Amino acid sequence: MSEKPEVNIRENLVEVINLKKWFQIQSGMLDGVLSRETIYVRAVDGVSFNIRRGEVFGLAGESGSGKTTIGRLVIRLEEPTEGEVIFDGIDLASVKPSEMRKMRRRMQVIFQDPMASLNPRMTIGEAITHGLKIHFPGDSENHRDTAFNMMEKVGLTPPSSFYDKYPHQISGGQRQRVVIARALVTLPDLVLADEPIAMADVSVRALLLDLMVRLKNELNLTYLFITHDLATAKYICDRIGILYLGKMVEIGELRDVYTHPLHPYTQALMAAVPIPDPRERRTQTMPAGEIPNPINPPSGCRFHPRCPIAQAICSSEQPELQELELGHLVACHFAEDFL
Amino acid sequence: MTNNQSSEPDILYKIRKLVVEYHTRGVVVTAVDHVDLDIQRGEVLGLVGESGCGKSTLGKALMRMIEPPGEIVGGELWFDGTELLSLPEREIREYRGSKISMIFQDPMTSLNPVQRVDEHIIETIKVHEPETKKSAALERAQALFERLGIQKRRLNDYPHQLSGGMRQRTMVSLGLALNADLIIADEATTSLDVIVEAKLVDQLEEIRKEFWVTILLITHNIALVAQIADRIAVMYAGKIVEIGYVNDVFLNPLHPYTQGLLQSVPNIKFDEREDLFKMPGEPPSLSDPPQGCRFHPRCPHVMPICTQVEPQLLENSPDQLVDCWLYQNLPEGYESTIEVEK
C-alpha cells in the first residue's frame, strides 16, 4: 500500500487509534507545594474511530464529552497525550513542523461563531484569500479569481459586491458562508466542522446544511462534524459516534444508531431530544444525576452510576467497544440485551 | 378576545399595543411593535422566534426591565387587573420577583458570585416579606430545594459550585419562594445539555401543576415548545404573527412564516418527510423592516397588498389568531391572487 500512495485511494481518510488527551490542571501554588500528585482532566481517554473518505462523520456528546478536543487532535491543533492519528496513511506524529504547515492545506476548520472567527479588520476578500497566500504564494495573480469562484459556489453573489466589505457589513447568514468559503478555498481533503451552524437561526440552517452537502460532493470533501445537536446531525451525517466523558460509547451508521440505539446512554440522549410535535410528548424519565467530573471519572463503565441497567460488573470492568451488528459498535456489557 | 363565549379564559396578563424602541446613533429600532397578547392563568405559553425578533425584549418589558437606550414608548400592561406602566418605580419593584419572576439563559448573571445560595433565597424572601423570620425563610428554601431535587446541603454552596442545571433550578426556587404568579423563562434551558434540559422541563411541568404558576417560555427551540407548552405565540420582526394552542398551530399552521418555520425544525425521528424546508432569505433588520407585511420578501404567497399594507393579528378561529392577509378581507382596491382554503 505504501509504495504508490498517490494512486492508492484508501477507504479511510483518517484513522484514530486509542487517542488520549489529558490536561494538567493549573493548581494554585500552595496546592503544588502540598500535593505530590499531578491532577489531570482526562478530556479524551482512549478513543478509536475511522473517518471514511467522502463521508460526513458526526461526533456527538454533551459538554465535557471531549468532542471538541478530539476534533482539535485530529487536525493537530493539539498534541495527543497518547495514541495516533493517521491522516491519509501518514502518522501525524511523525510529520515535521515544516511539513505539517503544508499538510494544513488539506485539513481546514469551520468554527461555530462566524463573527468571532473572522477578523473584523479584514475584508471578506482578504479573509478568503488569506489561506491561498500561505499555501499558494507563487500564484498570487490568480487569488482573486479563485476567491470569486469559491464565493459563487457558496452563494455570495455577485462576489464583487462582497469582496471589499467587512464582516460587520454583511448579514449573519452571509458571514457563515464566508467562513465556509474560507475553509474550502484551499481545496482541503478533510473539513473539521465544529458546531458549524449552531449559531444560525432555524430558518437559515436548512440552506446552510444543504450548501455544505452540495460542496462536499462537488469538491470531494470529507467532514468531521462535531455537534451537541442530534436532531440537526441527522440531516447531514452518514455515520455518528456518541461520546460520554472522554470515551466512545457507540458508533454506527446514523440510521442504525438513531432508530436502534444500543447503549443506555445513547438511548437516554435520544429520548431527551425534544420532538417538534405536541402529539409525541416524551414519557421516558431521564437518567439520574449529572455528568461526573472528568478529573475523577467513575470506575468501570463511566455511565454506570446513572445507568438504569447497571450490574456489579459495570463498576469494576470497563466495557470494550465491540461490533454487535454490522458496522454498529457499542461499549456496554449488556448491550446484547437490546439486540 | 372571545367576548361572546360563556367560558371566558382567565387572563393573568393582558398586553395591549405594546411598543418598545431602542435608540442608538439616531437609528430607531422597534423591537416590539404594537404587540397584543393574553397570557392565561396557569398556562405554559411558548413565545418563539429567531434571534433579533424581539422576543427577549418583550419578556423584559413585561417586568418593565427595559433599560436605556431601550424604552417602552406605548401600550398597556394589565397584570392581574393592575396597569403596570402607570405605576411608580417603587411600586413596580414589588411586582418584580414576588409576582413576576424571571429566569435567564445564564443564571450566573442573576446570581451574586460572592453570596451563598441560601443567602440569595433568604434575602429575596426578606425583601418582599420583612416580617418573615430568617429561620422560617431558611426552612422554605430547604423545602424548595428538596422539592426541586437538589440536596439541602447545596444551599451552603456558592453559585459557581453548582452545575448549570442546579443554578437554573435555584432561579426557579427564587420565583417559587415568593409564590410568583408568573415565571418568565428566557432561553432558560438553552445553554444546558439536552438531558439536563429535559429534566428541567419535567420539573417546570410539575411545579406548574403544584404551585399553579403561569409560565412564559421564551425560546428559539420550537421542539421544546411542542413538548411543554399549552399555547404557542410566533414572533417575527417585532410582531406576533400567529398564536394558538400547540395542537392547532403545529398541525395546522396558518401564517406562511409559521408554516416554513415548522418545516425547517429538525426532527430526530425518522418519518416520511426527511428534507428540511429551505426558507429563502434571512429575517429583516428591525431598524429598517420591509413595508407592509414584514415577511413579504420571503413569503411564497405574497400578494400586492402585502408589500404595502400591514395586516393585523386577528382571529381565524376563536383559538387561533393570525397576522396575514391570506385570512383577512382585503380593503377595496386590492385583490387576492391566491386561493386559500379556510
Instruction: For chain B, say whether A230 makes contact (Cβ under 8 Å).
Output: yes
Q: What is the pLDDT of residues A82-108, one digit of tens each?
A: 999 999 999 999 999 999 988 999 999
Top pLDDT among B91 and B340 is at B91
Longest dimension (CA), chain A: 68
Top pLDDT among B190 and A270 is at A270
Residue contact A201–B51, C-beta within 8 A: yes
Residue contact B221–A282, C-beta within 8 A: no
Q: What is the β-pairing status of strands B182-186 and B100-103?
A: parallel
Task: Give the per-residue pLDDT at A4.
Answer: 45
Give the C-alpha separation, B81 to B78, whole Å: 6
- Provide the 3-class DSSP secondary structure of residue B296: helix
Task: Give the per-residue pLDDT at A39.
Answer: 85
B281: which DSSP letter? S
Q: Classify domain B11-99+180-327 at the CATH topology level.
A: Rossmann fold (3.40.50)
Residues of B in contact with A286 (CB under 8 A): 195, 198-199, 202
Task: Give the per-residue pLDDT at B2.
Answer: 41
Label residue B177 by pLDDT band (50, 70, 90): confident
Residues of A in contact with B280 (CB under 8 A): 207
Suggest the residue from A254, A256, A277 to mutate for an interface test with chain B (most B CBs closer than 10 A).
A277
Shortest Cα distance from B82 to chain A (angstroms)?
34
Shortest Cα distance from A207 to chain B (angstroms)?
5
Q: What is the pLDDT of residues B129-159, one digit of tens each?
A: 889 999 999 999 999 898 888 889 999 999 9
Write out the three cell numbers for B201: 422541563
Residues of A in contact with B223 (CB under 8 A): 231, 273-276
Shortest Cα distance from B268 to chain A (angstroms)?
4
Of the candidates B330, B259, B264, the residue with the CA atom closest to the CA atom of residue B295: B259
| Contact call for residues B238 and B289 (beta carbons, < 8 A) | yes
Residue contact A275–B226, C-beta within 8 A: yes
Residue contact B223–A231, C-beta within 8 A: yes
Task: Give the per-residue pLDDT at B124.
Answer: 87
Shortest Cα distance from B284 to chain A (angstroms)?
10
The yes-or-no verdict on residue A40 having pLDDT over 80 is yes
Task: Give the per-residue pLDDT at B302.
Answer: 95
Task: Give the per-residue pLDDT at A292.
Answer: 87
Give the C-alpha separation, B284 to B336, whole Å: 25
Task: Name the closest residue on chain A to residue B52, using Cα atoms.
Answer: A201
Mean pLDDT over the full length of chain B: 90
Whether residue A158 has a cis bond before it, omega within 30° of 0? yes
Q: How far is CA A87 from the centre of its chain?
A: 15
Label residue B55 by pLDDT band (50, 70, 90): very high
Residues of chain B with pLDDT > 70: what percent? Answer: 96
Residue contact A275–B227, C-beta within 8 A: yes
| Contact call for residues B302 and B292 (beta carbons, < 8 A) | no
The yes-or-no verdict on residue B128 having pLDDT over 90 is no
Residues of chain A with pLDDT > 70: what percent? Answer: 94
User: Which single residue is written with the C-alpha cell 444543504?
Assistant: A210
Task: Give the per-residue pLDDT at B285.
Answer: 85
Task: Give the per-residue pLDDT at A32.
Answer: 57
DSSP string, A302-321: TTGGG-TT--HHHHHSPPPP
**How many CB pairs lie under 8 A apart between chains A and B?**
119
Rg of chain B in Å (alpha carbons): 21
Whether residue B318 has a cis bond before it, omega within 30° of 0? no
Half-sphere exposure of A100 (CA within 13 A, CB side): 13
The yes-or-no verdict on residue B281 having pLDDT over 90 is no
B-contacting residues in A 274-333 (Cβ below 8 Å): 274-282, 285-287, 290-291
Write out the three cell numbers for B135: 429561620
* A284-293, B78-87, B292-301: least confidently modelled range: A284-293
Residues of A in contact with B201 (CB under 8 A): 274
Whether residue B107 has a cis bond before it, omega within 30° of 0? no
* A44-48, A308-312, B108-112: least confidently modelled range: B108-112
Write out the three cell numbers for A12: 479511510
Element (DSSP H or E) covering residue A87: strand A82-87
Q: Where are the domains of chain B?
A: 11-99+180-327
* A257-261, B204-208, B293-297: least confidently modelled range: B204-208
DSSP string, B156-209: GS-GGGS-HHHHHHHHHHHHHHTT-SEEEEESTTTTS-HHHHHHHHHHHHHHHH
Task: Give the per-residue pLDDT at A18.
Answer: 97
Give the C-alpha separation, B270 to B89, whole Å: 52
Suggest the residue from B190, B205, B228, B265 to mutate for an interface test with chain A (most A CBs closer than 10 A).
B265
Stretch B262-276: mean pLDDT, rounded?
A: 86
- Provide the 3-class DSSP secondary structure of residue A248: strand
The yes-or-no verdict on residue A139 having pLDDT over 90 is no
Q: What is the pLDDT of residues A171-217, one digit of tens each?
A: 888 999 999 999 999 999 999 999 888 878 888 888 899 999 999 99
